[in-house]
Structure 1
Amino acid sequence: MASNVTCGVHDFQCIASIAAIVTCILSWGGCSVIFASWILMKRVRTPNRRMLLYLTIADFFVATGQLMGASWTLNRHLHHDARNSNCSGAHPVCVAQSFVSTLATMSSFLWSMLIAWHVYRSVLVPGTGTYWLDRHRWAQHLLCWGVPLVIVVVALSCKRLGLDTVNVEGNNVPTIASGIWCWIRTCKDDLMIGNRTAPEMPAVMTFYMITGQFWVYLAFLVIPTCYIRTKRRIKPSVNSSSYNSAALFESAQEADRLMTWVPVTLLLLRMWSCVRFVGNIILIFNEKTDDYMLTVLFNQVFLVMQAVGDSAQGFTNCVLYCLLTDSVRIELKKKLGLRLGIGRDTQTEASGPGPGEFSDTRRERQHRDEGSMHPQLNSPHESNSDTEPLLRSSINSRTPT
């Protein structure tokens, strides 16, 4: 047994592992709350919110896989376990975790992009009826689960799922974009470091791209584009003062805010693996792997940021979809028997809606009556009860990087 099993303040791998474990546990809790809201609240069970449920299932497995991987790599790190560090073979636990995390992360990205496209289409192309994927929901599952499954099976058959062992070997060589969990099996000989004849490097880079990085870049393109175009469509309505109720105006304002923060939050959470991937590739090709400052920046500081961002999707979905949505939060508290609300929530539950406030029933009735008076708000308004959580949920997306 190793004599030193402590985690020092300068041990960034240990810090990143602990940060990932804590964030994964929070995401577990967040996903559980979303599942509870689906089970307990019948009005949440709409076809559109069902897509959010599928996204949450993917996020739950992302958190599960990354928690397993972070715990396993932390144990190896603290006990200086050198087994399986020479890339002669991959540990079964590591391979299993990589399989689950990679599959779930790609699925999460696909569900997030599908949700963004659905919101975009419902707002910018109203009244056109359902599109093909709506009428054939099996195709949604084939796309969002089947495509990732095929990719992961190919990676498994090529024996490319496993641990990035470059840093484990103690050569101070930067990793590509792996977090502190297993993803793509990478060895020192796979990288062109002082040796321009690394035949496995193209294959390694290809698997890094098709199992993660490609979906990150695609999500960075699709999700902001859909929400920005939708936001531009409803912006004139938000700025307009021709509303007959505060409820409709608040609904439009909230939809506008969501379509601002969804892509911003996506970028803030998911950018770190992309920065590490590009930065480490540049270091490797320019043979600057001994640059201490850049190595610390890309593979210590940004590693901690990536460990948190890549694991936080389930938790952030819960905060946005449940905790910051008044109607869902209040009803969920009632269903769970929690009567400890304070401030406005307590007053609303105790005395009913006050001046300028609307109960859920009255708000929904006014929305239905006034939707025809503001056709440009029909889709954004419906998001208050149906599409809104989809907007909130598309924050997350993650590679097992």
Structure 2
Amino acid sequence: MPHGALQTELYPFERVTVLVSCALSFLGSSLLVGTHALWPELRTRPRQLLLYLSLADLLSAASYFYGALKDFSSSTWECVAQGAVSTFSNTSSFFWTMAIALYLYISIVQGSPTGTSLLCFFHVVSWGVPLVITVLAVILKKIGYDASDVSVGWCWIDIEAEDRILWMLLAGKLWEILAYVTLPVFYILIKKHINRAHAALSEYRPILSRTPALQLRTSVADKKLILIPVIFIFLRIWSTIRFVLTLCSSPAVQNPLLVVLHGIGNTFQGGANCIMFVLCTRVVRNKLLSSLCCWRSSSPEHSLASPESRSQGPDSATKDWGDAQEGDRARAEFS
């Protein structure tokens, strides 16, 4: 990959697309953080992990927005600062995504207790490892202008660094590829566990038929189990493809469609999480609608939550797979 072989020019529509995607991701991550702060009954352990993932995505979206807006043309101090922030937050997002999958596997399949020690381990790895990598990259002057060959307008690993491939792997691509492998494995094992639990309940169909809510919740759990790794891979695969094309010095790396997909995939993770765990989660969605109605109406009767919302206590909140704990509750019910 000789320097100067590829110089990806960003068209205005590509830059606007990235900026819009960053803004939506920022709003989505903010909404996830806001729901966690507003409603204590939703503060389950899985949603606590989702909170930390949202904070990483929030920082990542902001740094990508700044990079795409500034349109850097050299390794200025602003470029290095933006590249450092995006490197840290993006790598941290990978670690927290894998941490959630590991937590669900341990709690659902293994049935092991998950105390504060596991959460401390997640914090040390998911914040500490990206921080060490980013600090070393800045000290060794590996972060800088990359000519948008492996980005879409923002700064990352300096395209002129001799060992740029190694640092591209350490600063994101290695963990991205690792997530492609580990996420499907974890969620396939979890889904198999739930399916075996369904099979074990088949002999109790008369009882199960009288509890349709349990059937509905577990079917939602299965669907979202599948969606989590699928959405992650669909969003991130385009950056991996451009990375491989850049290593091969292929002109296809400049393909406008591929550039747009890369820009959306790298910046929209927070928006995708918001859609799955807020807008597509019944309990959280009802609370948001109830709060919106209360905000629009100043009458005392409208300040109260609807009967449906009041029925969503802490136990109901944790039953929804939107907080990633439906499988855990289903496992307990099945056993």
**What range describes the TM-score normalised by the shorter chain of this pair?**
0.7 to 0.9
Aligned partners of 1:178 and 1:184 also within 8 Å: no
What CA deviation, in whole Å up to 9, does each residue of 1:84-138 have, x standing for no partner? 3xxxxx2111111001100001111101101000111111111x3236xx42533
- Tell me, in whole angstroms, the C-alpha distance in 2 between the residues paired with 1:16 and 1:225: 34
User: Unpaired runs of 5+ in structure 2?
Assistant: 1-8, 297-304, 329-335
For 2:236, the equivalent position in structure 1 comes to: 270
1:210 lines up with 2:170 in the alignment: yes
For 1:95, the equivalent position in structure 2 comes to: 80
- State the one-letter code of the partner of 1:141: H
For 2:103, the equivalent position in structure 1 comes to: 118
What CA deviation, in whole Å up to 9, does each residue of 1:208-265 have, x standing for no partner? 1000100110111111110011011112445665314111111111111111111111
Q: Any residues of structure 2 matched to 1:64-79 within 5 Å, and which?
A: 64-73=62-71
- Tell me, in whole angstroms, the C-alpha distance in 2 between the residues paired with 1:56 and 1:116: 15
For 2:192, the equivalent position in structure 1 comes to: 232
1:360 lines up with 2:312 in the alignment: yes
For 1:158, the equivalent position in structure 2 comes to: 140
For 2:113, the equivalent position in structure 1 comes to: 129
For 1:322, the equivalent position in structure 2 comes to: 278
Q: TM-score, normalised by structure 2?
A: 0.83
**Could you tell me the percent identity over the aligned residues?**
30
- Tell me, in whole angstroms, the C-alpha distance in 1 between the residues paired with 2:189 and 2:59: 31
What CA deviation, in whole Å up to 9, does each residue of 1:249-308 have, x standing for no partner? 1111111111111111111100001111112212x3xxxx5x5xx3543xx321110101
RMSD, matched Cα: 2.8
- Aligned with 2:152: secondary structure? coil
Q: 1:385 to 1:59 in 2, by over 3 A?
A: closer
- Tell me, in whole angstroms, the C-alpha distance in 2 between the residues paired with 1:115 and 1:350: 32
Q: Which has the larger radius of gyration?
A: 1
- Tell me, in whole angstroms, the C-alpha distance in 2 between the residues paired with 1:217 and 1:211: 12
- Tell me, in whole angstroms, the C-alpha distance in 2 between the residues paired with 1:38 and 1:21: 26
- Tell me, in whole angstroms, the C-alpha distance in 1 between the residues paired with 2:154 and 2:83: 8
> Which among 16, 29, 32 is matched to residue 31 of structure 1?
29
Aligned partners of 2:92 and 2:126 also within 8 Å: yes
- Tell me, in whole angstroms, the C-alpha distance in 1 between the residues paired with 2:21 and 2:322: 29
User: Unpaired runs of 5+ in structure 1?
Assistant: 1-10, 77-81, 85-89, 168-174, 191-199, 341-348, 368-380, 392-401
Following superposition, the deviation at residue 359 of structure 1 comes to 4.5
- Tell me, in whole angstroms, the C-alpha distance in 1 between the residues paired with 2:146 and 2:322: 44
Aligned partners of 1:31 and 1:56 also within 8 Å: yes
Q: 1:333 to 1:186 in 2, by over 3 A?
A: same
Aligned partners of 2:221 and 2:327 also within 8 Å: no
Q: 1:210 to 1:383 in 2, by over 3 A?
A: farther
- Tell me, in whole angstroms, the C-alpha distance in 2 between the residues paired with 1:99 and 1:125: 37
What CA deviation, in whole Å up to 9, does each residue of 1:354-400 have, x standing for no partner? xxxx9535x947x9xxxxxxxxxxxxx85637424999xxxxxxxxx
Q: TM-score, normalised by structure 1?
A: 0.70
What CA deviation, in whole Å up to 9, does each residue of 1:323-350 have, x standing for no partner? 111111111222344588xxxxxxxx86
For 2:301, the equivalent position in structure 1 comes to: none
- Tell me, in whole angstroms, the C-alpha distance in 2 between the residues paired with 1:295 and 1:271: 13
Aligned partners of 2:151 and 2:263 also within 8 Å: no
What CA deviation, in whole Å up to 9, does each residue of 1:49-85 have, x standing for no partner? 2111111110100001000000011xx5xxxxx6x3x
